[in-house]
Amino acid sequence: MRRLRTQVGIIGAGPAGLVLANLLGRAGVACRVVERRSREHVEHRPRAGLLEHRVVAALRREGLADRLLADGVPHGWCAFRCLGRDIRVDYAARAGGRRHWVYPQQLLVRDLIAALAGHGPPPMFSQTVRAVEDVTTGRPRLVCDGIEIECEYVVGCDGFRGAARAALPATRGSVFGHRYPYDWLTVLAEVDRPAEGVVYAVHPDGFAGMMPRTSRLSRFYLQCAPGDTVRDWPARRIREQLRARLSPLPEIAGFPDVHVLRMRSSVTEPMRHGRLLLAGDAAHLLTPSGAKGMNLAIADAIALASALLRRYRDGDTGALDAYGARRLPHIWRAQEFSDRLLRLLHLPPDKAGDQGFALRLRLAALERLGEPGPHAVAFAHEYVGSGAGETEGTREAEGAREAVSTEGGGWP
């Protein structure tokens, strides 16, 4: 058995784990990132693609956004289609000019892996953590095939079914979850022109969405019945339903990636057990509605890095002890926004009801988002992730650097 030692063991080489490793490594804290997938897999895995204003501001401050800012595309509007109407919401104009950046997650992952060079060992790819042990002692361990890594702290960024969550005792804390009465077919499609903005469609046949990714790729979503599989959705049916629910569309050449997303959300409380801390999907699952998942994971990593640095630089464990309690209000606000948007975009599941009435109710709500007023302004700030009005206040949302060093758990 090969034995290694480090200060912080990080499970998972997704955005949360890699941002955390970069921030700690640059400050001189030794880290080991362990990832069960290959480097090729994580660098080409298509997932999220929309980064919030405050997340981009934080990555820029830390020198982790050079390629994002060079190659990403800023977006400041979205559109809703309902009953033949296109309602454009210029959320950047209502949120003080703050915008999203379209930059596929796999490209950000590549950037973060490259940025680790010179700050410590590269991630240990294709290495599965079989168990996380001794987390209530001062020396927790990551047990892998043929390798044990002794740590001072372990951070689980390995998803809902990862080894970090498996290490939590059954009597410790609670998992609050919700299963929605529908699923989404998620389709990465080759297109003849880039999507100009995010488009959401409320339709009697079910929700549909179009999200920009690159000049030749767009992400599409189609509401489907719970339990559907990819086999239930051949290419012909996908094209027919996209045209029915979402037209007009770019020309679609092919579907390089199609899968069914089980629509569920969850939050684990607390986010710490002994020397084990949770971040990203290991702590909370969100639906893609509102594009909050990756952004929330990166925010966890930034907050946790600040708390760990205070522990190592000053011996102050207060921010680390308060990490979960400070993050949870932000997590629940993101969950509420995602859930609220889902209820707006999906008709009631009871098909015996008057769907015409439900459609017109939604059209009225969407029209409020497209018109000037406090309702539209509030939506704009929540949607773009400006941070305005949250408990940490505007200064943190704007990204003042001093907030990173003094506020251990909120938005940097």
The set of catalytic residues is 75, 200, 288, 292, 383
Query: How many C-beta atoms lie closer than 10 Å to residue 352's C-beta?
Result: 6
Q: What is the largest CA-CA distance in the chain?
A: 66
Q: CA-CA distances (angstroms) from residue 368 to 44, 78, 178, 201?
A: 39, 14, 28, 16
Q: Which residue has the tokens 């008057």?
A: 354
> What is the rounded distance in angstroms from the CA atom of residue 155 to the CA atom of residue 165?
10
For residue 47, what are its two tokens? 């997932």
Backbone angles phi, psi at 315, to 5 degrees: 75, 15
> What is the rounded distance in angstroms from the CA atom of residue 2 to the CA atom of residue 193?
51
Long-range contacts, stretch 318-322, CB < 8 angstroms, 24+ apart: 318/408, 319/408, 319/409, 320/277, 320/408, 322/408, 322/409
CB 296 within 8 A of CB 312: no
Sequence-separated (6 or more) residues with CB below 8 Å from residue 291: 48, 49, 50, 52, 100, 211
